[in-house]
Structure 1
Amino acid sequence: MSNEIPIGSPVRTQAIINRYFMRAKKSLGQNFLVDLTAIKGIVEAADIQPDDQVIEIGPGIGSLTEQLLMAGAKVFAYEVDDNLPEILQNELPKEVNGQPIAERFELMMKDILQADFAADLGDFFDLTKPIKVVANLPYYITTPIIFFLNKAKLKFVSLTLMMQKEVAERLCAKPGTKAYGPLTIAVQTQMQVEIALSVKSSSFIPRPQVDSSVVVLTPLVDKPAIGDAEHFNWVVKMCFAQRRKTLNNNLKPLLPVATERAQVFAELGLEPKVRPEQLSIQQFAQLAQRIPVRKS
């Protein structure tokens, strides 16, 4: 099979699968993207420019990696499947835009959740310059990865991530909708969220049971004033503990005295029967300020 055919094309992907006797590992959430329009859409959504520094999570057989490199990016990839280094070495182009692949691409066999970015990237990236994250994420680990990256002390300018459509809808949900909840709030206190494109399940081998979306997360310049983040997130989580119940009922473990709850509702201008999904982030911040901090 000619390497002039992109890795992400169905025919090239199938040829690679056959050549290496591959089977997608369900335990790693592997689904190979075979839609070149979607792959190039991810690169476009990430706004990849020449010499951009990009962390890729789970490069797989290199479908997205190849297009990132062709767009001029310098790519550092994290992978956990021991069968893939050989495939990436053989299938990725030997040089990109006149440069040897070794100068543009580095693979580290490590779980991204165990990453020490300063140590891992220091010899390959200039850590004083911005870094982008681009990935087709395994569905089962999407949320932990987002929170891990958000807490990392690294200069991320954007996270462009393919994920389950339902999770994407939760990330960008608005107050008053069913998708709005603790995940929405935790992410939107830190990042601007935008769904860049939708990808049908038919774009993957093997075909997953759900569709996907590509989400672009950009760190907020002006973040909401939420005070103690740990306390805030705990209060939000408790407010959604029993989603079908009113906020008043969910607050009983936090404010057992009915008159105290009534006073808080009055101060915030909330109706007693309001449901947690109707509150804005600012209202949750005001509420958290009135809830006693848990004793350690």
Structure 2
Amino acid sequence: MVKQIPIASPVRTQAIVNRYFVRAKKNLGQNFLVDLNAVQGIAEAAGIQEGDQVIEIGPGIGSLTEQLLLYGGKVFAYEVDDSLPEILETELPQRIDGEPLSSRFKLVLKDVLKANFAEDLAGFFDLTKPVKVVANLPYYITTPIIFSLLESGLNFTSLTLMMQKEVADRLAAGPGNKDYGPLTIAVQTRMAVDLALNVGHASFMPQPKVDSAVVVLTPLKTPVDVGDPEKFNRLVKLCFAQRRKTLSNNLKTLVPDKAERESLLTNLKLDPRVRPEQLAISDYIALNQALNA
């Protein structure tokens, strides 16, 4: 039996594109990944091992899906493009480790933002065991998907996500970095962030104008206690609303009196003239507690 060229190779991807007359849809943010090293790097960053239950978001024509299966994963995929099921069912390996594809792979045509995981996964995954989420995310919807997964109640051990490098840098940033902001803080209070690998724009077909990166998000054993989450998030967004302004100026709407405002900050050992990106998450927690005391 002739060994099939991986879907992630440019030659195989082009053959699939020609055979099915498929084109990457701009409105869905589609770009086919044609770099086997990058695809295998994603599977390795996710730590995919035999028997892992893997949710994939946006499998496309199957370049990443194929490797997740070959690494030993059992894959449940969400896809919104109804032109792709035939390609996946035909082009993915029909048997993996002696098992038929149907026992290792299931595809549903559904927006993952509308997923009911308990209902969707029942009968295919063992819901008493955790899952791993792996995705090559469309740039335009990366942040909503991240927060949807964080709020879903899904029992996952990690999220391994490829996204625009600019967003990845924001997730991984620390205080004092220009990329540090509300998204950083919202994610880092709940997840450990590991920037696993960079993927250049030449690894895709068609090539996007920007580079990508793979980030692994792992739930913190003990989530950071921010107090009232709604008030905390509102405070952080307010402080970053005008990044070039000082912390004191950004807090005017909450504490109109300048002397009172600066006294509050001084008591917290915070310089009123500091910029919002210079504060650590612990500083924002302390500030939120003081404002709501």
TM-score between the two structures when normalised by the length of structure 1? 0.97
Work out the CA distance in 1 between the residues paired with 2:240 and 2:190: 20
- State the match for 1:285 in structure 2: 285
Cα displacement (A) at 1:228: 1.0
CA offsets 1:80-105 (integer angstroms, 9 cap, x no match): 00100111111111111100110000
AA aligned to 2:246 is T
Matches of residues 267-282 of structure 1 in structure 2 within 5 Å? 267-282=267-282
Residue 119, structure 1, aligned to residue 122, structure 2: no
Tell me the distance in 2 between the aligned counterparts of 1:271 and 1:69. Answer: 53
Would the aligned equivalents of 1:226 and 1:285 in 2 still touch at CA under 8 Å? yes
CA distance, structure 1, for counterparts of residue 239 and residue 281 of structure 2: 12
Please identify, of 186-195 and 251-260, the stretch whose mean Cα deviation from structure 2 is larger.
251-260
Within 5 A, what are the aligned runs for 1:113-262? 113-262=113-262
Counterpart in the other structure of 1:36: 36
Structure 1 residue matching 2:56: 3-state secondary structure: strand
More displaced 10-residue stretch of structure 1: 38-47 or 86-95? 86-95
Deviations 1:183-233 (A, max 9, x none): 000000000000111101000000000010000000001222211111111
1:42-94 Cα offsets, whole Å, 9 max, x none, are 00000001010000000000000000000110000000001001111111111
Question: What's the CA shift for 1:11?
Answer: 0.1
- Count residues with an aligned counterpart: 292
Moved runs in structure 1, 4+ residues, more than 3 A?
none
Aligned partner of 1:11 in structure 2 is: 11
Q: CA deviation at 1:259?
A: 2.4
Aligned amino acid, residue 139 of structure 1: Y
CA distance in structure 2 between the partners assigned to 1:3 and 1:84 by the alignment:
23
Structure 1 gaps, min length 5: none
Structure 2 CA distance for aligned equivalents of residues 3 and 181 of structure 1: 48
Contact map agreement 1:159 1:216 (CA 8 A) in 2? yes
TM-score using structure 2 length: 0.98
Superposition pairs of residues 42-81 of structure 1, within 5 angstroms: 42-81=42-81
* 3-state SS in 1 of match to 2:291: coil
Instruction: Report the secondary structure of 1:107's partner residue.
Output: strand
Structure-2 separation of matches of 1:55 and 1:186: 23
Q: Does the 8 A contact of 1:158 with 1:219 survive in 2?
A: yes
- Distance in 2 (alpha carbons) for counterparts of 1:150 and 1:230: 15
Larger deviation, residues 134-143 vs 256-265: 256-265
Secondary structure (helix, strand or coil) at the match of 1:289 reads helix
Q: Distance in 2 between matches of 1:199 and 1:151?
A: 28
Does 29-38 or 122-131 show the bigger shift?
A: 122-131
How far 1:258 moved relative to its partner? 1.5
Counterpart amino acid of 2:208? P
Report sequence identity in percent: 66
Q: Deviations over 1:252-271 (max 9, x none)?
A: 01111212212211121011
Q: Does the residue aligned with 2:108 lie in a helix, a strand or coil?
A: strand
CA RMSD for the aligned pairs? 1.1
- Structure 1 residue 122: deviation in Å? 1.2
Q: Secondary structure at the match of 2:263?
A: helix
CA contact (8 A) 1:32 1:60 kept: yes
**Gaps spanning 5+ residues in structure 2: where?**
none
Shift of 1:3: 6.7
CA distance in 2, matches of 1:107, 1:178: 40
Q: Distance in 2 between matches of 1:254 and 1:108?
A: 47
